[in-house]
Structure 1
């Protein structure tokens, strides 16, 4: 073992130990905190209106307040249920990565804590989306196949950078609605719990990526950077499913077109992902080829 690798391992163990302690002190349980039988206020949104995929478009301007509220609820149900699909993939990658680990290490202990967190988050998202609209969404068959390939093949920096990006994008969207008094109290709690616990998951993923990228060659760095960027593109393009627009009572083709060309949404994504892009640049995963993908996905 090299001196560098030994130092990285010690750093990972120290970070993991602190994360385990933090989880013990401050983890929360949506099953106990949220009154799932409480009626929802029909005048409240599911996200800050500015985070709707259609906000800032002509289509949004044509909608009544009631239609806008309904739209955000279906949009957020899509984000949450697609989030479940991503989180289940992330759990499988973490379990595979830790299968041969030292089970007494802090790294293994926090990895299992993260899997347990993700299970609770998935249940929380499922209950919240069911409560709001009763609809559940899945990615297209093509994306589902791509996701399965990614899940079964990604490892080291590709796996953990993919985990980091999925968590960062959800975090940005949820953090943007915390504290907004037009948003449903139930969603406030969902967002607060997820943002709190995902902050630990993102720290863990960053340390894993740093460790994996230490001393890698140019070919591996270039390949990994592109694979991670393609994973990010898959996430961004699938969070709000076209069927969610249909279920909200909108014209699917017009709504999807408005979302894809929405400059306001693009700016919100770029500003929310500044720190993510800085981190990827820091560890060598923001190569020119990867940059092209992030720019067309409006993350950069």
Structure 2
């Protein structure tokens, strides 16, 4: 007769450890969500008029800042460019958040619906829905068009989210959140910036801090437990996502909208040492983390270099 041995308690503890850690993190994030969540429709004064002479984005974060073209632009045109770039960044944020919501739904599809990990993922999806609507309302209030990403990259987004691994999904989540978060942390306390923009960025920063923690903890676990092929694919897909993200960061249509020559403006942005420093500073916390957990390796690292986000 075949006997069935009892499971080794030590091995069982090793297997349950990451699950318990995941649940503890999720519970802390759920508690934080209960304490510090916002309703942008009620918590932002959408009816307040814009203030004369204030910026829609800190000037140092405007793509043309400190270029020869910038130095020739009158102050009013600089502020107008900042208004359109704020709309472009909000449009990019909506595009990325819609992708992230789909990735999160895929992540929880086969998981226990009663787990705290899944409950927090659903909480984050609800946050992202509100953020997307908030950004869209901000664009409308600002009186600019929305600035969608180019069609080719819009279609490539379909491919990336369809082939993304679980760790790849969380790497993309961090890419979409951390660079914008760094810029918004500079925007919301800046008294030169319109109060409405500061309110929008403050809400986003507070709530995105939880999303970043959730994604970082899960990606760290996944890069230890995922099979080798999945880790390698994550390195490649995150590098390609970084390349696409940097290309789409500001829609070149903003330059034409304020009366500038698109080709001249794009060339000056690409040649701008200041802009390169801004983008790398915004990505540094993320790229240091990804390097530490083994994402920035091999061909994927070359893709990250081509994005300009690392040297």
TM-score by length of 2: 0.92
Q: How does 1:107-118 map to 2 (within 5 A)?
A: 107-118=117-128
* 1:21 aligned onto 2:40: no
Partner of 2:271: 261
Q: Paired residue for 1:62, among 53, 57, 72?
A: 72
* 1:155 aligned onto 2:155: no
The alpha-carbon deviation at position 224 of structure 1 amounts to 1.5
Partners of 1:249 and 1:126 lie apart in 2 by 24
Across the two proteins, how many residue pairs are aligned to each other? 300
Partners of 2:103 and 2:207 lie apart in 1 by 18
Partners of 1:2 and 1:93 lie apart in 2 by 30
Deviation string 1:10-67 (CA, Å, 9 cap, x unpaired) is 1111100000010011111221122212211231111111000111111111111100
The alpha-carbon deviation at position 89 of structure 1 amounts to 0.7
Deviation string 1:152-196 (CA, Å, 9 cap, x unpaired) is 221210011101111111111211212111100101111110011
* 1:189 aligned onto 2:193: no
Q: Paired residue for 1:240, among 247, 250, 255?
A: 250
* 1:124 aligned onto 2:116: no
Deviates more, 1:33-42 or 1:16-25: 33-42
Pair member with larger Rg: 2
* 1:277 aligned onto 2:275: no
The alpha-carbon deviation at position 5 of structure 1 amounts to 4.3
The alpha-carbon deviation at position 141 of structure 1 amounts to 1.3
Q: How does 1:1-150 map to 2 (within 5 A)?
A: 4-150=14-160
The alpha-carbon deviation at position 255 of structure 1 amounts to 1.2
- Give the CA RMSD over aligned residues: 1.5
Q: Paired residue for 2:300, among 276, 280, 290?
A: 290
TM-score by length of 1: 0.95
Structure 2 residue ranges without an equivalent (≥5): 1-10
The alpha-carbon deviation at position 217 of structure 1 amounts to 5.1
Partner of 1:206: 216
8 A Cα contact 1:74 1:133, kept in partner? no
Deviates more, 1:49-58 or 1:223-232: 223-232
